[in-house]
Every structure is written in structure tokens, then in C-alpha cells.
Amino acid sequence: MKARSIMFQGTGSGVGKSVICAGFCRLLARRGIKVAPFKSQNMALNSGVAQGGEMGRAQILQAQAAGIEPDVRMNPVLLKPIGNSTSQVIRLGKPVGNFTAREYYEMSQENLKTAVQAYESLANEYDAIIIEGAGSPAEINLHRTDIVNMRTAEFADAPVFIIGDIDRGGVFAWMKGTYDLLPEYGRPRVKGFIINRFRGDISLLQPGIDMFRELVPVPVTGTVPMLNLTLEEEDSQSIENSTKGGFVTVAVVRTARMSNFTDFTPLATCPDINLIYAKSPNELTGADIIILPGSKSTIADMKDLRMRGFDKKILSMADKTPVVGICGGFQMLGRTIKDPEGIEGSDSECAGLGLLDMETVITPEKTLLNRTYQGLGLLEGLDFRGYEIHMGVSATSKEYAQLCTEKDVCIADGKIIGTYIHGIFDSEEVAARIIALSGKNIRPDYSYHKNKQAQLDLLADTLEQHLDTEYILSSLY
């Protein structure tokens, strides 16, 4: 029997679509329903390696919530912005090239075909599919080339529930405006609204909900309270400092094109750690650990950091403060970064920080690996999972300490650590040993994985309690 589906769209980006979809995946999985997530097109610099190649981290989280292995069919089209209105297009897990926004929209029929085929394939294997939209379905200039909102609802024959974020204010105007600007063919599919991130007394909001029903012929199916979750988010606008009285300060340098900031979610959830995203060099002062994150355009980000004075600040602290570079950040630790074919942008070369005697050349071939690594040196005795996504080869002229058996993907020179492995902090033991280089030790009994599972269950419980879930799920039965 072919799967039935439900779709969650939003009044805009960052309203909580990804997390609510994860909650419904967990809710259905707990009821014994074989459920999978789906998002036709994702635009994000947070990606991971799954079965078939590269896909968005939001759908990876949703698959984990459903208790299944992530599969690129769950996110058949992924756009990774590289600047100047240009994105790398990933189709079914593999890069197909860099395209401007106009060029991409001219490919809409081809991408729609890919999305339909991926959905149909999943629908033949699962009982239910939870579909996530993107941005807003009310972007009237994009209706003709849409493949991710109402066009997806149409080919999946899915009822639609629209999520609004009341914490931003104006939620009723946002919801009504969205409904009014929907394409005519999509409006009948809307079966309800969800108000997300509510604080306060629900009785004070209820008159507004009653009046809204008189204006829009679709019910508000519930109000989800503000939850202080630390689950992985898709949108960069969700990046925020996590300062909760910890005694270890980890400073992530906030680059303009930062990718895979989900690497730091485990650090943000640890009660012993204050995680800050430093926008200026002065914010690095007092940090116990400095991290250079991944980047979709490493040379451009390196030049930007130098222009803002981060290079001098990092070099002045590096003799005493551990510095960790991940992926693009790893490349920045070297002497030079070269991009002779202009793969990541127009800049062909720039100097790195010179903390490692290393040269990186950006190459067209993308490394996509997801595996278990065996630790060496500082990480001796640890087995940890992680993944690699990079378009570059880094060569050193010095023998550095290898931190795992896979040569040159995780190396150290004293307190300077460079790695191509994303998700390395998902291992509490790895995080603890790296943080110990600062002279401070986090508690050994904290488990990121247990915390994540507990938060997914809390999310599902909250949806059950505050939404009319039986009405929302009625199309599945």
C-alpha cells in the first residue's frame, strides 16, 4: 500500500517547520507507524552524508526521530549557497554543478521530476511520509517554479498545515496573509494552522484564535509552547550563543559562509560549556577553545576574517589557547589555500593562518564519507562516528600527530588541531579530550545522544498535548 502523507509549510523561514516535522516523525514512530521525512528542495549549508550521498541535516534529524537510516531520497534537491546569488546544486546526493538563481529556476521542471521520483520511491516503502515545505508558500514570484511547497503537496496529494511563529509577533496577520496569497489550486489543501513558540496565558490568546476563524475558513489546530530545545536547526538565523553558567568557554568564529554549524550543537547542549559565536575578534578574549568552522567558500571567508582582524587575534592567542579547525576551518590553519579552477568562487588563492605547515588545493571532486574512525594519539582508544564533505586536498610537509587511523583527516600540532571530520563533537569522549587541552575538564557523565533522544520524546509529547493531533493525522488512517 502506498504511503499517505501530511505536509507542514510555514509563514516564513525559521518558524520551526523542521523541528515540528521531527516531532511528528517521532510521534508516529512511537505509534508503530513506519514513517519517513521528505523535503523536495532544501537550501542550507548544513548537510550530512547519508545513504546515497549528501543531504540536508534537517532531514537527517527527522530520519533519526523516525528511527530510520537517512536516505538522499528524503531530500532529493539540496542547494548550497556559495555567494553572488549562486549555489551548488546537489541532486540525489551528488553535485551537478554551480548555478545562478535564474539558471536554477530554469531547471525547475527537471528538479521537480527528480523530487517526484524520489517521493514515489519512498511512498512505496513507508506507511506515512511527513513532508516539510520551505520558506513560505506565499512567495508569489516563485509560484511558477515552485517544487517544494504547494507543488509538492499536489503531487503527494497531501493535506497542508501552516506553521506561524508567534514569538516574532504579528502571527495572525502573517497566517492570513499567507493564506490569501496562496495559489488558487493550493488553498483547498490547507486544513489548519499551528501557532508555534507561544509564551504566556493561552486564555488571553483564545479570543484572537476565535476571531481568526471568522476571517479564514481554516482552524487553528493548536498552540505549541516555547520549548528550549537544542535540536539541530536548518536555518542560519537560528544560530545563537548558549551561555548557561558553564565554566568552559568555546568560541566559534562566525564566518560569513559558515557551513555545518550543527557540528557545535553537542557543545551547546553540554551544561559545562558556554558556546559563543564570535562576530568580532574581541569576543575571543577569555575563550578556553577557539574553533574555526566549516565554510562553503573557504578563501572568501579567510579573506573576510583577515579584514576583520581575526587572524591577528587568533595568532596572538594560539600559543596558549587550543585552536581547532574543522573542514574549511582546517584549510584556514595552513599556509595557503588555492582554488585554481574557481570552484568555490572567483578568488584563486590566499594565505591562511600558517598555524600548520600545509597547502590546500580546492578540487572538483567532492569527498563524501560517513564512517567510524579509530582514534590515535590524543584520541587513542576511542572509536567515533563522523562524516566528511569537502572539495579540497590538503598536503603537509611536516609529520604531524595523527589523531585517527585515516591519514591526514585529523591531525594535531600541540594545541593546534585540524580535521576534515564533521560531527566529531557528537562523541562526548572526543569532546572531553579536546577540551582538556585547555586545562579544564567537563563532567564525564553527560551524554549528547541520550539528551537528543530525550528532547525528541519531549517534543513529541508536547505536540500530543497541545495540538489536535488526531485531526492533523486523520488523513493517515
pLDDT tens for each residue of 296-355: 899 999 999 999 999 999 999 999 999 999 999 999 999 999 999 888 877 789 999 999
Could you tell me if 298 and 337 are in contact, meaning their C-beta atoms sit under 8 angstroms apart? yes
Could you tell me if 17 and 132 are in contact, meaning their C-beta atoms sit under 8 angstroms apart? yes
27-62 tens-digit pLDDT: 999 999 999 999 999 998 889 999 999 999 999 999
Separation between Cα atoms, residue 344 and residue 364, nearest integer Å: 10
- The C-alpha cell 564525564 sits at 444
CA-wise closest residue to 232 among 9, 71, 44: 44
* CA distance to 139, 189, 214, per residue, from 152 (Å): 15, 11, 28
Q: Which of the following is catalytic: 21, 270, 327, 410?
A: 327
Could you tell me if 304 and 255 are in contact, meaning their C-beta atoms sit under 8 angstroms apart? yes
143 is catalytic: no
CB atoms within 10 A of CB 97: 11
Q: At 85, is the pLDDT very low, low, confident or very high (cuts 50, 70, 90)?
A: confident
Q: At 374, is the pLDDT very low, low, confident or very high (cuts 50, 70, 90)?
A: very high
DSSP conformation class of 227: -
Could you tell me if 194 and 222 are in contact, meaning their C-beta atoms sit under 8 angstroms apart? yes
Region of poorest pLDDT, from 67-71, 335-339, 442-446: 442-446
Average pLDDT estimate for 439-459: 90
Separation between Cα atoms, residue 8 and residue 193, nearest integer Å: 9
Q: What pLDDT was estimated at residue 126?
A: 97
The radius of gyration computed from the CA coordinates of the chain, to the nearest angstrom, equals 23
pLDDT above 90 for 391: no
Four-point Cα dihedral 168, 165, 426, 420, nearest 10: -70
Q: Is 158 helix (H, G, I), strand (E, B) or coil?
A: coil
Could you tell me if 81 and 45 are in contact, meaning their C-beta atoms sit under 8 angstroms apart? yes
Average pLDDT for the chain:
94
- Residue 392 β-bridge partners: none
Separation between Cα atoms, residue 430 and residue 9, nearest integer Å: 38
Amino acid at 153: A
CA-wise closest residue to 266 among 385, 423, 419: 423
CA-wise closest residue to 8 among 269, 16, 85: 16
Q: Is 335 helix (H, G, I), strand (E, B) or coil?
A: coil
Could you tell me if 193 and 161 are in contact, meaning their C-beta atoms sit under 8 angstroms apart? yes
* CA distance to 76, 395, 457, 473, per residue, from 27 (Å): 24, 47, 8, 10
Separation between Cα atoms, residue 228 and residue 341, nearest integer Å: 44
Could you tell me if 338 and 360 are in contact, meaning their C-beta atoms sit under 8 angstroms apart? yes
For residue 362, the surrounding DSSP H or E stretch is none
CA-wise closest residue to 175 among 226, 131, 211: 211
pLDDT above 80 for 232: no
Q: 477 or 473: whose pLDDT is higher?
A: 473
Q: What pLDDT was estimated at residue 346?
A: 74
- Residue 100 β-bridge partners: 86
Q: What pLDDT was estimated at residue 124?
A: 97
Separation between Cα atoms, residue 403 and residue 437, nearest integer Å: 14
Average pLDDT estimate for 224-229: 92
Average pLDDT estimate for 5-21: 96
> Which cell numbers in the block locate residue 155?
503531487
87-119 tens-digit pLDDT: 999 999 999 988 998 999 899 999 999 999 999
Separation between Cα atoms, residue 302 and residue 314, nearest integer Å: 12
14-24 tens-digit pLDDT: 999 999 999 99
Q: What pLDDT was estimated at residue 234?
A: 61
CA-wise closest residue to 64 among 207, 192, 213, 232: 232
Q: What pLDDT was estimated at residue 443?
A: 81
CA-wise closest residue to 165 among 110, 114, 223, 205: 223
> Which residues, in sequence order, are CB contacts of 451 under 8 Å at separation 6+?
230, 269
pLDDT above 70 for 238: no
Q: What pLDDT was estimated at residue 221?
A: 98
Could you tell me if 39 and 25 are in contact, meaning their C-beta atoms sit under 8 angstroms apart? no
Q: Which of the following is catalytic: 25, 143, 270, 422?
A: 422
What percent of the chain has pLDDT above 90? 84
Average pLDDT estimate for 283-292: 97
* CA distance to 43, 273, 429, per residue, from 245 (Å): 34, 8, 21
> Which cell numbers in the block locate residue 350?
590566499
241-275 tens-digit pLDDT: 877 778 999 999 999 889 899 999 999 989 999 99
Separation between Cα atoms, residue 274 and residue 310, nearest integer Å: 20
422 is catalytic: yes
